[in-house]
Structure formats: structure tokens, C-alpha cells
Structure 1
Amino acid sequence: MDLLGLLYEEDDIKIWCSEMIDFKTEWRCFIRYKEILDIRRYKGDWDTKIDVKVVENAIDSFISQPNSYALDFGINKSGETILVEVNDGHSLGTYGLSSAHYAKFLSARWSELTQTEDYLNFN
């Protein structure tokens, strides 16, 4: 129903769906210039652990990644770290990210979109 009104019969649109997964916890990984800027829990149990190697492998595998984006991962009942979705970095909430990191995160993507210099491109 989310796509109702957006689809046209003449369009050949591929839609990928996965099986339902019961996540214990969900995490948002803020990625800036191909590096993990921060990882914030946004839903679920506080005592689960995200597998950072899985996150790093996802970053390395994302060939056409923008200057900033978020990778959302879920931890299932078996403790596996599973990619849920990828979100563009131009309009995401902070989820507790520090204001300095959030400004750098937004600036990285905005400068890319506007083809201007990123004045906050420093550590």
C-alpha cells in the first residue's frame, strides 16, 4: 500500500523484499567519507553487540557510496548483524549523534550534492 499511486503500469520497477526478521535491537551507523563516524542504538535491547566487521564489510562493498549516509543494522535473536536499509545522509535525524559530528555528516553530503567545498572536511 506504501507504493499505491506511485506505480504506473508501463514502468518496470523491481521491488526487493526479504523474509520477516524479528530484531532484538536496531543500530544506525553514520558513515562519512567511507569511515564510521558513529554507531547509535535506536531501538531495542541495550545489551546487544553489533558486529563492526559486518559494518566495515558493508562499507567496503558499497562501491558508489555518497560522502555521507547511514547503514541501519538489526541484531536478530541469534546475535547476527543484518543490514536493514541504507539511508542518504542529506536528511537524517541525529539519534544522539553529537552536534559537531552531525554538522560534519550533513556538510559532507550537502557539499557533494551542491558540488561545493566541504569546509568541515577535517577530523
Structure 2
Amino acid sequence: MIRRAFIQELGGGRMEPEMRDVLGGLQERGIPAELFTAKRLERRQLPLDRETLVAGDVPSVLGALGQLGLEPPPTNDYPRSLEPFLHRRLWTSTVRRLVACIEDGSSPPVFAKPQGRKKRFTGHVFGTQEDLLYLQRTSLSTPILCSEVVRWRSEYRVFVIRGRIVGVRHYAGDPAIPVDEAQVERAVRSLEEAGEGTAAYGVDFGVLETGQTALIEWNDGFALGSYGLDRSLYTELTLTRWEELTGGTPSR
């Protein structure tokens, strides 16, 4: 059970909205919390244990897990069980191959992003020589995920705790165009039945110009953008995933 927490601040009391929500949510639960900066964590100045939540950005959460002697969780942006919901072709490649295709004009534009947790560049549609400027500081051997270029009419994040959808928040496109809720529920059920989900996570879905509801990507339940999800639910999601990552006793 979580008995206290460290919540990341940016310095001078500045905080990301999600961290303010967690701080408020913990106060409502009577869990004492202290703010920390990334520098304090890096200097090992925080007394960490498995009953202490660390909420912050991805490097900070992974750094805290490392200090506890725990391996970082694997990334899985596109779980196998969700492939039928992609509605577009997806493949792995490298920056070297992408650059070669763009330079010789041998392929249509593709969307590409780094594979794995290290975001060496931002996901982008690559189709011209000018687009290669996004890769200037990226190693040619960097593995990437590529997909056909599609047009999203609207995009949503679906929040799941212990296999149950607890919230859906719009974050891009036309909010008047909703996702197919039945399709989303089928996707989450497939993920849970395959055992590919975690105790808490977010999974992004959108509506294509064809009208189909399609998977955008799966997101782990730590350091997750909330897009205004109710702070009590976001706090529960954060606690649930941290307890799973550290092998702690789930809070109820």
C-alpha cells in the first residue's frame, strides 16, 4: 500500500497539470506528498521504497524504478491483439532505410516515429527531402515504426484501470465526431483476454476519414497525459500502475 508520495515539479513550484491533479487526489486520500525536482532524484536525494509513489515524467519514473533495483517495463505501442483495429499497414524499419527511400523517391510518404521509449525525434510524415531535417541528429541505425499515412478526423484517449474503461477524453480533431464505443470496448476486451494490458493504461483511438474507428497507439499507465480526466480517476490510475510496477499491494 502506498503510504507517501513524491510528485515532480518543474522548479519554482511550477507543475504539469497531471502532477497537480495527482497531488490533489492524494490529499483527498490522506496520503502525504512532497514535491521533488528531477535533479534531486538524479542525485539520489529521495528516500525511495516500494510504498512510496513517484509520479513525474517518463525519465523520472524510470529513474526511480532503477534506484529501487527494478527493470523498466517493455514498450508495446501496438499490441498484437489490437492489430485488427489498426485499419492501416504498419511495419518496422530504420532511419537509414527511410532516408534512402525518400532520397530515391521509391516510396510514397510514410508516417514514422522512433521505436521504443527513447523519443529521438517526434513522429512525423516523411515524404520530401525537407522532411529529413527532422532526423538531423538521429543515428541512421535508429529503429523506427512506420505506417501508411492516414487522416484522423478526431482522436481520443481511453483510460483503463484493471480492465475497466473509466474515462474517454478527446484531444485532437473534431470533438463532434465520436469514436465507436462498441469497437473500443471490443478492442479493450481483446487486449485484456490476450493478457497484453497492464493494470492501468491509456489506449488512443481515432476516427479515420473513412469513418472507421481505429487504434492510434497503446500507452503505459505511468507518466500518462490525462487530457483533463477527473483527478480522482487519474490518481487511481497512477497509483494502480505504480503498485504493479513495484510489486506492491494494490490500494482500493
TM bucket, shorter chain: 0.7 to 0.9
TM value normalised by structure 2:
0.43
The Cα shift of 1:60 comes to 1.6
For 1:4-43, what aligned pairs fall within 5 Å after superposition? 4-5=138-139, 7=141, 16-43=145-172
Write the distance in 2 (CA, Å) between the matches of 1:7 and 1:118.
41
CA RMSD of aligned residues (A): 1.9
Identity %: 35
Write the distance in 2 (CA, Å) between the matches of 1:7 and 1:29.
33
The Cα shift of 1:116 comes to 0.5
For 1:1-123, what aligned pairs fall within 5 Å after superposition? 2=114, 4-5=138-139, 7=141, 16-62=145-191, 63=194, 64-119=196-251, 121=252
- 1:30-84: per-residue Cα shift (whole Å, max 9, x none)? 0111110100000110110211111111112212210011110111123210001
TM value normalised by structure 1:
0.84
Gaps (5+ residues) in structure 1? none
- 1:69-100: per-residue Cα shift (whole Å, max 9, x none)? 11101111232100010000011121010110
Gaps (5+ residues) in structure 2? 1-94, 96-113, 115-119, 121-137
The Cα shift of 1:6 comes to 8.7
Q: What letter is aligned with 2:229?
A: L
Write the distance in 2 (CA, Å) between the matches of 1:60 and 1:6.
38
Report the structure, 1 or 2, having the larger helix content.
2
Q: What letter is aligned with 1:92?
A: L
Write the distance in 2 (CA, Å) between the matches of 1:5 and 1:78.
36
TM superposition outliers: structure 1 runs of 4+ over 4 Å: none
Aligned with 1:18: secondary structure?
Answer: strand
Write the distance in 2 (CA, Å) between the matches of 1:6 and 1:110.
35
Aligned with 1:118: secondary structure?
Answer: coil
The Cα shift of 1:18 comes to 2.1
Q: Which moved more, 1:30-39 or 1:74-83?
A: 74-83
Write the distance in 1 (CA, Å) between the matches of 2:152 and 2:227.
18
User: Aligned residue pairs: how many?
Assistant: 115
